[in-house]
Structure 1
Amino acid sequence: MSRFVLAGVRAVALCAFAMLPLSALALPGESIPPSPPGLHKVGCSNIAQDFTRVPPGKSAQDWWEGYPDDDTPRYLTDLLAESANSLVLNLALPRDFTLYGFFSGRTFAHVVLVCYPTTQANGRADYVLPGGQSVPRMQRGNEVPIFTDNALRYPVLLFSHGFGGSPISDDYIEALKLFASHGYVVVAPFHGDSRFTTVNVESFRDALYALLYYKNYVAMQAVRPRALSAALDLVLAHPQFRDHVDPARVGGFGASQGGESLLLMAGAALTTSLPSETSKVTFDPRLKAAVGYIPYFGVQGYPAFGTDQKGLSGVTLPYLALSGTADTTAPISVTEQGVARLTGTRQLVALNGVLHGFDRGFSDDIFSWSLAFLAGQLSGDPVARATSARMTSVAGGGDDVLRIDYLAPTPAGADERIAVEYYHRVLDHFFVTAESAEAGMLDAGVIVPGWQRTGFAFKVRPAGDARGAPACRFFGTPGVGPNSHFFTLDAAECAKVKANPNWMYEGLAFSTEVPATDDCAADRVPVTRLYNNGKGGQANHRYTTSHSEMREMLADGWILEGTVFCAIP
């Protein structure tokens, strides 16, 4: 067990070793080129409709979205021309009045559209919709899907459209096609939100309106994640798809309300009464990662996940939020508060000037960020994970800025360790340990009180592992040196600090790969060291993989010392 000096013990404010040359250092990060077009043609399941059932002057879109005609319910099932060959599920809602109100215990049909990678030779006709959109190479009658490779199992992408939309409304169908062209089996339920409420978020600016209709709005929100899970159940069990999808690789993409729905599916607690009562809707561990485009986290005064977004605390789903800085329906300030609550991999990208809608000028940014994030979380490829962790922008296109980022390491194998970061508020110091016993002691807060986990960590190997270099660990000599720890892989630096009486050598902490010219191999995540420049009279170093944390530290007067470790992603 290491020696800690408690707050109040006098120490010399001295960084007793040579600093790296600062003029050559810059914040790490990579601007990646836009994602190329997908390699696959796209086919889709059967949603053939009889548009003669739509009265003159009416729009089929009202049925797609479940919008009632006065008191007469309408939904896509009313228009299906080949319903026996379409994907339809019946969702029975739990008897839970808090979440589902007057819809509690009732059953609602949900139509599901599935789009998938298909062969170049697939000659099926596109199905043209009113308004000009088309469903590519749509199955008709009892036709079965034609996959690019029948021997492969493809990753699944649950697609959740925004409030009042549908998978074939507006720009959503184009997004479905894009993801399927990149090798995803895209599963998109028609939520039919307007069957539950026609109240939108703008109405909640009127407090009286909110009080009168909020219960139905809660029910609509609570139904959505259950429909997503049921759609996944349907596809994983369906004879046309079950042998072609990988149940271990399930991601999600949600727009606006859909971004909220995926978090609710991952166990977030939903605001059920204003201002602060919350209730967990469901938890589906099959969902491994999700992207929210202009995701709805609520508005000022009406948070989606309880007061201060506390309903997101403990949610570990890897999540990327792409938010517009000019969005007043889903304000980025509210989203930022929510993303900061997440405890797993998390990213928030600000799209400068984007309103609440699809901005074609940011198309490359939206889909390049999304594809890189999903590949990093679902593919199992360490290069893809490391690429996602290094990424700070997309070249060209709109102005995208990474505001929050953290890549949580995958669970440690038998020959791996997790280096966990702690922070002491009184000392204003950071510390990292890869020793589980030491972490347990700090968590207990008895022997050495005051240390709290920051929620950041990176993966290393045990000390002495031949696949990396050993990290020397030092602690400031009590009463003489800094009240802080210091780590280095550099043998010369290690020897120099050992010879300095201000530091005590505590042994080898862990092993990790050495960066070459301030960078790491493509399958590794750079760990950057920062120095507090003696801020507060005590020297301290921080070791982090997060670009946003680095920016905050530099703004607070810390000094960048460069990439010092290469972590396993």
Structure 2
Amino acid sequence: MFKLNIKFVFVLAAMLVTPAARCEAPKRPHPVGLNFASYEDPVRRDWTGSRARPLSTVVWYPAAPGSRETDWTVSIFNAGTNAQGAPMAAEPAKLPLVLLSHGTGGAASTLGWLAEALAANGYIVAGVNHHGNTGAEPSYRLEGFMAWWDRPQDISAVLDKLLADPRFGPRIDTSRIGMAGFSLGGYTTLATIGVRLSQKQWQDFCAEASPDNPNCKLPPEIASKYSMDDVNRLLTQDERMKKELERMGNSFRDPRIRSAYAIAPVLGPAYVKDSVAGIQVPLRIVVGTADDQAIPETTAKPVAALVPKAQLQLLPGVTHYAFLSTCTMVGRTVARQICSDPEGVDRSAVHRQVGADAVQFFERTLR
């Protein structure tokens, strides 16, 4: 199943709070089309070293009028309603693009509700399944759970591929490109607009944390397969991983991204403060007040306090997994942790609210 991040605790700072109840459900002027792309990044290798790094990508878009939509179920999730393979709407000739990053161990389809809200309102939305760290692949890789900074590189590589793809490239307005992501995908979002990581900050925090601190433990989907000793060996003895660590503090900012929408972002204690303060594009952060994984005081509030163009929206009572797609009946039976919400929290209502908010944000910032 999916757990979605390795997290840390950060100092509390001032915040900007925007009321959560102003958003209405997003309108649906277009049917939503869905397509798939099997891209690769020839510059990087997969974790076996045998091939180019895969960039399996899901693309949502406004479909031609009359396209027949059907329900889409992926594993234990209700991933939305769309018309797979439908032609793209002919007008307008150029469309804005929003790139999408899922949480740890997840997949692009788990954010189908957000992609669908945007696509129905005239956006092309492209979500990559991050290699080694996605349930869309047959198995996980420990490296994929540790090399977080590979993710923003995936985003830039996918953007290159989309622009070169004859199906999508000619329709993308390159002056209107945005970024959105959830949990570790929230970090990915921030990295694409300039946030850098510090290995020392990460190590110092975990050295002081309690052994039982969930912020420095492996997520459960790989905890039965790997131990923290495995992590330490990987980081200190594996030659490829040691080379990866040398790039951990690099900037992966992509200047083509003009605005960013981060949902429950994580890894705040590893962020280089100056890199956060240097963000220049419009940024909106959304997180639940009851999120015990992307704790607002850990990342969202400190980032919002440092970024001049940031807005922070707190959703009362909402927990981490409410931002995943709704679950099937099987999912609600076998994966209660990620499929159940607290009393009084309606996951579908959260999706409608945040989807409408994202549409409004990108309409303002990607004009």
TM interval, short-chain normalised:
0.5 to 0.7
User: In the alignment, is residue 180 of structure 1 matched against residue 145 of structure 2?
Assistant: no
What does 1:511-550 correspond to in 2, within 5 Å? none
List runs of 5+ in structure 1 lacking aligned partners.
1-27, 47-85, 95-99, 140-144, 200-212, 380-569
Shift of 1:258: 0.9
Contact 1:252/1:291 (<8 A) preserved: yes
1:114 paired residue number: 59
User: In the alignment, is residue 189 of structure 1 matched against residue 144 of structure 2?
Assistant: no
Change beyond 3 A, Cα 1:315–1:93: farther
Give the one of 365, 368, 387 matched to 2:356.
368
Contact 2:117/2:359 (<8 A) preserved: no
Contact 1:157/1:251 (<8 A) preserved: yes
Q: Within 2, Cα distance between the matches of 1:138 and 1:257?
A: 28
Give the one of 70, 82, 88 matched to 2:39.
88
User: In the alignment, is residue 339 of structure 1 matched against residue 299 of structure 2?
Assistant: no
1:305 paired residue number: 271
Amino acid paired to 2:249: S
Contact 1:326/1:352 (<8 A) preserved: yes
Give the one of 32, 37, 45 matched to 1:42.
32
Give the one of 146, 164, 168 matched to 2:105.
164
Contact 2:100/2:126 (<8 A) preserved: yes
Change beyond 3 A, Cα 1:108–1:366: same
Amino acid paired to 2:204: P
Q: Within 2, Cα distance between the matches of 1:105 and 1:316?
A: 39
Q: Describe the superposition over 1:256-312 as per-residue Cα deviations: whole angstroms up to 9, x where unpaired.
A: 1111101111121113242389712412101011111112244xxxx1314xx4441
Q: Within 2, Cα distance between the matches of 1:354 and 1:91?
A: 40
Q: Within 1, Cα distance between the matches of 2:80 and 2:21?
A: 34
Give the one of 194, 207, 218 matched to 1:267.
194
2:180 paired residue number: 253
Q: Within 2, Cα distance between the matches of 1:286 and 1:103?
A: 31
2:150 paired residue number: 223
Contact 2:187/2:266 (<8 A) preserved: yes
Shift of 1:91: 5.0
SS in 2 for 1:137: strand
Q: Within 2, Cα distance between the matches of 1:327 and 1:289?
A: 24
Q: Within 2, Cα distance between the matches of 1:330 and 1:111?
A: 26
Shift of 1:89: 2.1
Contact 1:269/1:281 (<8 A) preserved: yes
Change beyond 3 A, Cα 1:333–1:187: same
Amino acid paired to 1:41: P
Amino acid paired to 2:84: M
Q: Within 2, Cα distance between the matches of 1:42 and 1:285?
A: 28
Q: Within 2, Cα distance between the matches of 1:355 and 1:112?
A: 27
Amino acid paired to 1:175: L
Contact 2:33/2:84 (<8 A) preserved: yes
Give the one of 283, 289, 311 matched to 1:325.
289
Shift of 1:136: 2.1
Q: Within 1, Cα distance between the matches of 2:154 and 2:67?
A: 30
Shift of 1:354: 1.3
Q: Within 2, Cα distance between the matches of 1:236 and 1:281?
A: 22
Q: Describe the superposition over 1:350-383 as per-residue Cα deviations: whole angstroms up to 9, x where unpaired.
A: 111111122434334312322221111002xxxx
Higher relative contact order (CA 8 A, sep 6+): 2
How many aligned residue pairs are there? Answer: 278
2:262 paired residue number: 292
Q: Describe the superposition over 1:359-414 as per-residue Cα deviations: whole angstroms up to 9, x where unpaired.
A: 434334312322221111002xxxxxxxxxxxxxxxxxxxxxxxxxxxxxxxxxxx
Alignment TM-score, normalising by the size of structure 1: 0.44
Shift of 1:346: 0.7
Alignment TM-score, normalising by the size of structure 2: 0.67
SS in 2 for 1:115: strand
User: In the alignment, is residue 280 of structure 1 matched against residue 270 of structure 2?
Assistant: no
2:241 paired residue number: none
Shift of 1:245: 1.2
Amino acid paired to 1:362: V
Larger Rg: 1
SS in 2 for 1:280: coil
Amino acid paired to 2:115: L
Change beyond 3 A, Cα 1:92–1:275: farther
Shift of 1:316: 1.3
1:416 paired residue number: none
Q: Within 1, Cα distance between the matches of 2:92 and 2:294?
A: 42
Contact 1:268/1:280 (<8 A) preserved: no
Q: Within 2, Cα distance between the matches of 1:341 and 1:106?
A: 40
Q: Within 1, Cα distance between the matches of 2:275 and 2:146?
A: 14
2:240 paired residue number: none
Contact 1:264/1:281 (<8 A) preserved: yes
Q: Within 1, Cα distance between the matches of 2:352 and 2:73?
A: 26
Q: Within 2, Cα distance between the matches of 1:234 and 1:263?
A: 21
Q: Within 2, Cα distance between the matches of 1:157 and 1:249?
A: 9
Change beyond 3 A, Cα 1:329–1:30: closer
Contact 2:113/2:355 (<8 A) preserved: no
1:15 paired residue number: none
Contact 2:23/2:353 (<8 A) preserved: no
Change beyond 3 A, Cα 1:128–1:165: closer
2:83 paired residue number: 137
Q: Within 2, Cα distance between the matches of 1:371 and 1:295?
A: 19
Amino acid paired to 1:160: S
User: In the alignment, is residue 315 of structure 1 matched against residue 279 of structure 2?
Assistant: yes
Q: Within 2, Cα distance between the matches of 1:362 and 1:42?
A: 20
Q: RMSD over aligned Cα, in angstroms?
A: 3.3
Contact 2:39/2:55 (<8 A) preserved: yes
Q: Describe the superposition over 1:94-136 as per-residue Cα deviations: whole angstroms up to 9, x where unpaired.
A: 9xxxxx9x99998411111111001222247766545464672
